Amino acid sequence: MLFDIQLRSAESGIFLPLFALSFALVSTTAISQDQEWPTYGGDLASTRYSPLEIINAETFAELEVAWEFDTSNFGPSPEFRFQSTPLMVNRTLYSTVGSRRDVVALDAQTGELLWMHRIDEGERGFSAPRQLSGRGLAYWDDGTVAGRILYVTPGYQLIALDAATGRMIENFGIDGIVDLKQEMDQDLDLVTGEVGLHAAPIVANGVIVIGAAHLPGGAPSSRAKPKGHVRGYDARTGNRLWIFHTIPLANEYGNDTWLNNSWTYTGNNGVWAQMTIDPELNMVYLPVEMPTGDYYGGHRHGDGLFGNSIVALDLQTGQRQWHYQTIHHDIWDWDLPCAPILLNLTIDGRAVAAVAQPSKQGFVYVLDRVTGEPLFEIEERPVAATDVPGERTSPTQPFPLKPPPFDRQGVAIDDLIDFTPEMRAEAIEIASSYRIGPLYTPPSLAEADDGTFGLLSLPGSTGGTNWPGGSADPESGILYIYSQTQVTRLALGNNPRRSDMDYILLPSRNAPVVRVQGLPIIKPPYGRITAIDLNQGEILWQVAHGETPDNVRNHPALQGMDIPRTGQTGFVGTLVTKSLIIAGDGGAYTDDEGVRMAMLRAYDKMTGAEVGAIPMPAEQTGSPMTYAIDGVQYITVSVAGGDVPGRLMVYSYGD
Given this model, what pLDDT does residue 76 score? Answer: 64
What pLDDT is stored for residue 42 in this prediction?
Answer: 98
pLDDT, residue 32, reads: 47
- Smallest CA-to-CA distance from 116 within 20, 14, 2 is with 14
In a 13 Å sphere around the CA of 319, the CA atoms on its Cβ side amount to: 4
Kindly indicate whether the domain formed by 60-654 is annotated with CATH number 1.10.760.10: no
Residue 520 pairs with which residues in a beta bridge? Answer: 515
In whole angstroms, how far apart are CA 474 and each of 47, 49, 50, 163, 345?
7, 8, 10, 29, 9
* Ramachandran bin of 35, using left for φ above 0, alpha for ψ from -120 to 50, beta for the remaining angles: beta
Number of alpha helices (DSSP H) and beta strands (DSSP E) in the chain = 3, 40
Say if residues 383 and 361 touch (Cβ distance below 8 Å). no
DSSP 436: -
Give CB contacts under 8 A, 24+ apart, made by 429-432.
430/512, 430/513, 430/514, 430/516, 430/521, 431/456, 431/521
Q: Is 115 within 8 Å of 166 (Cβ atoms)?
A: yes
Q: Is 360 exposed, middle or buried (0-12, 13-18, 19+ CB in 10 A)?
A: buried
Q: Report the 3 state secondary structure along 303-332.
A: CCCCCCEEEEEECCCCCEEEEEECCCCCCC
Residues 6+ apart with CB under 8 A from 514: 430, 434, 456, 487, 489, 521
The residues, any chain, with a CB within 8 Å of residue 627's CB and separated by 6 or more, are 34, 35, 36, 37, 50, 52, 88, 108, 633, 634, 636
Q: What is the DSSP string of 478-511?
A: EEEEEEE---EEEEEE--TTT-SSS-EE---TTS
Domain ranges of the chain: 60-654
Rounded to a whole number, what is the distance in angstroms from the first to the last CA of the chain? 29
Q: Which of the residues in the chain have pLDDT under 70?
A: 1-32, 76-80
In angstroms, the CA 446 to CA 506 distance is 7
Separation of alpha carbons 349 and 337, rounded Å? 31
pLDDT of residue 594: 86
pLDDT digits over 411-438, tens only? 999 999 999 999 999 999 999 999 999 9
Model-level pTM?
Answer: 0.94
Looking at the DSSP bridge assignments, the partners of residue 648 are 69, 638
What pLDDT score was predicted for residue 601? Answer: 98
pLDDT in tens, 557-582: 999 999 999 999 999 999 999 999 99
State the average pLDDT for the chain.
93
Rounded Cα gap, residues 653 and 655, in angstroms:
7
CB count, 10 Å around CB of 194?
A: 20
d(CA 487, CA 189): 37
The pLDDT score that the predictor gives to residue 130 is: 86
Residue 508, Cβ neighbours under 10 Å: how many? Answer: 16
Task: Return the pLDDT at 339.
Answer: 98
Residues 6 or more apart in contact with residue 624 via CB below 8 angstroms: 85, 573, 574, 575, 582, 583, 584, 600, 635, 636, 637
Give the H/E segment covering residue 151: strand 148-152
Residues paired with 633 in a beta bridge: 628, 653
pLDDT digits (tens, 9 = 90+) for 591-634: 888 888 899 999 999 999 999 999 999 999 999 999 999 999 99
Give 58's contacts (C-beta < 8 A, 6+ positions apart): none
